[in-house]
Amino acid sequence: MYLKTIQLRQFRNYQEQRVDFSAPKTILVGNNAQGKSNLLEAVELLATLRSHRNSRDRDLIKESELVGQITATVERQNGVSDLSITLRRNGRRSVALNSETLRRQLDFLGVLNAVEFSSLDLDLVRGGPEQRRHWLDTLLIQLEPIYAYILQQYNQVLRQRNAFLKRNLESASKNEAQELALWNVQLATTGSRVARRRSRAVERLAPIAQAWHSSISGSTEILEMKYAPNVPLEQNEPEQVQQAFLAKLETREVAEQHQGTTLVGPHRDEIELTINQTPARSYGSQGQQRTLVLALKLAELKLIEEVVGEAPLLLLDDVLAELDLNRQNQLLDAIQDRFQTLITTTHLGSFDSQWLKSSQILSVQAGRIFSPE
Ligand SMILES: Nc1ncnc2c1ncn2[C@@H]1O[C@H](COP(=O)(O)OP(=O)(O)OP(=O)(O)O)[C@@H](O)[C@H]1O
């Protein structure tokens, strides 16, 4: 797939900016805080309707404006599509595909696919389980857009169940016990859907990440990636997972009523990363942790390509310069010209000259993008 053009209106620090992509690789060069990451963020929103930086819509809209917009033209094997996202300060978003406003945001997903790699991704190793869940969920949304809906349903039930538990702290009248039983069934049904999909995704991702990791580290390190669901998934049959879910809820009932919050479910899952049998967080140097993140990102690219049948975009936000030459080359070899790649950097010095020759280079300055003289 190929992103041909993108247009930003009142988005972040851009007033009105169109970019035409003319090569498989585009390098965006500029000083800090000029708008490079903002452009990649716009592409990420088109692919996932989510932002790496977890921003609220009102932060995405240009200061003092009410509405912001991202539009783009994407070329795929089966034709050309126009995408558009309109952001409003009051938080109501609308999305359109080929100029037709879509009722369900879900139908917007899957037209453009992208993998983002930024320094924030080091949190995949160093951060808490929430970061890893968020990462896996974003990947799943691209692998099967229906997952966006499944996750939203789960989160909605979870919020309502939490509110119910809070309202009824410590009490358990007969009516309330009945209502709780209903919430439990809903939580188990929606939660099992989330957990089974996460499990499947990790199963497919883990061997690819392990192979990349071994290749980048020169076979000295073995990466293991394991899904550690909060509700055990001994069997992958929906019914059995739901039963296990309900059984665990029963064992935690007293604790949940005491704490007024849901203690069971995929919002407490973990994705375990170990290197040579040591938790990745406590293993080795920053460089080694970077190797791990790089392997995860390359695995994401490959898995999306496999599932979707076309190569996703790769968004490299200021990370190339942070990789040593060996890792840079591994990455560049893996990309070649197969993946359209947008790269941000503050200086071109660290790029291979061959690379520079075959890339489109654009300058970014105070919310304006232009070809350097
Ligand atoms: N909603 C907004 N309205 C106006 N300006 C914004 C908005 N959100 C962010 N900015 C501005 O965008 C700039 C940040 O741009 P960006 O994050 O793309 O930096 P960058 O060029 O990638 O640089 P760095 O190398 O520091 O990441 C800052 O000047 C910030 O004030």
- pLDDT tens digit string along 121-170? 999 999 999 999 999 999 999 999 999 999 999 999 999 999 999 998 76
pLDDT for the residue numbered 315: 96
Mean pLDDT of the region 330-335: 84
pLDDT for the residue numbered 354: 78
Determine which helix (DSSP H) or strand (DSSP E) holds 138, and give its type and residue range. helix 129-143
Asked whether the predicted pLDDT for residue 371 surpasses 90, the reply is: yes
* Residue keyed to tokens 């924030």: 120
pLDDT for the residue numbered 349: 86
53 vs 223, more confident: 223
pLDDT for the residue numbered 170: 67
As a dihedral over the C-alpha atoms of residue 46, residue 362, residue 64, residue 91, rounded to 10 degrees, the angle is 10
Q: Is 64 in the pocket of ligand 1 (CB under 6 A)?
A: no
CA of 32 from ligand 1 middle (Å) equals 8
CA of 366 from ligand 1 middle (Å) equals 8
pLDDT for the residue numbered 172: 67
Mutate to test the pocket of ligand 1, among 10, 38, 63 (most ligand atoms within 8 A of CB): 38
Asked whether the predicted pLDDT for residue 323 surpasses 90, the reply is: no
Asked whether the predicted pLDDT for residue 284 surpasses 80, the reply is: no
Determine which helix (DSSP H) or strand (DSSP E) holds 113, and give its type and residue range. none
Taking only the tens place, the pLDDT of each residue in 253-282 is 999 999 999 999 999 999 999 999 999 988
pLDDT for the residue numbered 302: 96
pLDDT for the residue numbered 171: 67
Alpha-carbon gap, residue 157 to 161, rounded angstroms: 6
Taking only the tens place, the pLDDT of each residue in 337-347 is 889 999 999 99
Mutate to test the pocket of ligand 1, among 11, 37, 62 (most ligand atoms within 8 A of CB): 37
Which tokens hold the place of 94? Answer: 């609308």
CA of 279 from ligand 1 middle (Å) equals 35
Q: Provide the CATH topology of domain 1-113+310-373.
A: Rossmann fold (3.40.50)
Q: How far apart are the first and last CA of the chain?
A: 29
pLDDT for the residue numbered 287: 83
Please tell me whether 31 is known to bind a ligand: yes
Please tell me whether 33 is known to bind a ligand: yes
pLDDT for the residue numbered 324: 81
Q: What is the pTM of this model?
A: 0.94
Planar angle of CA 363, 369, 373, nearest 5 degrees: 45
Domain spans, the chain: 1-113+310-373
Which tokens hold the place of 168? Answer: 């009824």
Taking only the tens place, the pLDDT of each residue in 44-60 is 999 999 998 878 999 99
pLDDT for the residue numbered 330: 83
Please state, in angstroms and as integers, the Cα–Cα distance from residue 334 to each residue in 206, 216, 305, following that order: 18, 11, 13
pLDDT for the residue numbered 288: 85
CB atoms within 10 A of CB 188: 23
Q: Is 217 in the pocket of ligand 1 (CB under 6 A)?
A: no
Alpha-carbon gap, residue 228 to 270, rounded angstroms: 5
